[in-house]
Amino acid sequence: MKRKNGKISNAVIRRLPRYRRYLRELQKQGVEKISSNDFSELIGYTASQIRQDLNNFGDFGQQGYGYSVDGLYEEVSKILGLDHDYKMVLVGAGNLGQAISKYAMSIIDQGFQLCAAFDIKPELAGKKVEGITIYPYEELESYVSENQIDIGIICVNKGNAQEVADKLYSAGARGIWNFALVDLVVPEQVALESVHLADTLHSLAYHMNDIRRKSSGAEGKKK
């Protein structure tokens, strides 16, 4: 992977997993090569954008031919860091936490292993969610550092999320997958990805109402 210099914009990064998904589909269908034009039609980005995006990371194509599906899939996987495994812990085994842990458990085959869960409620200690033991919150830091955990999944309520993030960092975790509805502040050595589920639902609500307004107000055309 011949990485070029300069910072890659986040817009590009967010498209990479999607490129990878479509490449995987093509691979399954036995397609060997694809041109940026054909790929454009499939994935819905312009051919120009596809070439620009990929060229941030190297010259993966071949003029007059296109891109090798297998090769590009491997490259994109490598760029994303999916060529090695990640150990994760879940913090907060309440409603949302149990929900997410269920999902997290199901992607071990994709290189993400959920190793343990933690909760501040003493009565949960020793119990299991989806086969994963819940430990007392006090043991979080020692567990993370001793077991070289890479990623902490934060599912505590928003008032405690920042403290959990701080603990995860000081114990050595370098990735935080945050589901608490709060905007965390983390040192630049930590990668943070927040999934604000409620925000996405609210955004959905907006669009539903926007569509309704448009269709009902089709006659009234306000200035």
Partner DNA sequence: TAGATTGTTAATCGATTAACAATC
Smallest gap from residue 64 Cβ to a second copy (A): 28
Evaluate whether 184 touches 161 at the Cβ level (below 8 Å): yes
Binding of DNA by 68 (CB under 7 A): no
Query: Which one, 75 or 150, has the nearer CB to DNA?
Result: 75
Choose from a second copy, DNA, none: what does 67 bind? Cβ within 5-8 Å by kind.
Answer: DNA
- β-pairing, 66-68 with 61-62? antiparallel
**Segment interacting with DNA (CB under 7 A) among 3-11, 80-88, 125-133, 161-169:** 3-11
Radius of gyration of the chain (CA): 22
- Taking alpha carbons only, the member of 110, 116, 109, 130 closest to residue 88 is 116
Query: Which one, 76 or 144, has the nearer CB to DNA?
Result: 76
Decide: residue 31, CB within 10 A, 0-12 exposed, 13-18 middle, 19+ buried: middle
Query: Which one, 10 or 63, has the nearer CB to a second copy?
Result: 10
Decide: residue 134, CB within 10 A, 0-12 exposed, 13-18 middle, 19+ buried: buried
Binding of DNA by 11 (CB under 7 A): yes
Question: Is 165 annotated as a binding-site member?
Answer: no
Among 18, 52, 163, 213, binds DNA (CB under 7 A): 52
Structure tokens at 195: 């999934």
Binding of DNA by 35 (CB under 7 A): yes
Question: Is 116 annotated as a binding-site member?
Answer: no
Query: Which one, 34 or 173, has the nearer CB to DNA?
Result: 34
User: Which residues line the annotated binding site for NAD(+)?
Assistant: 92-97
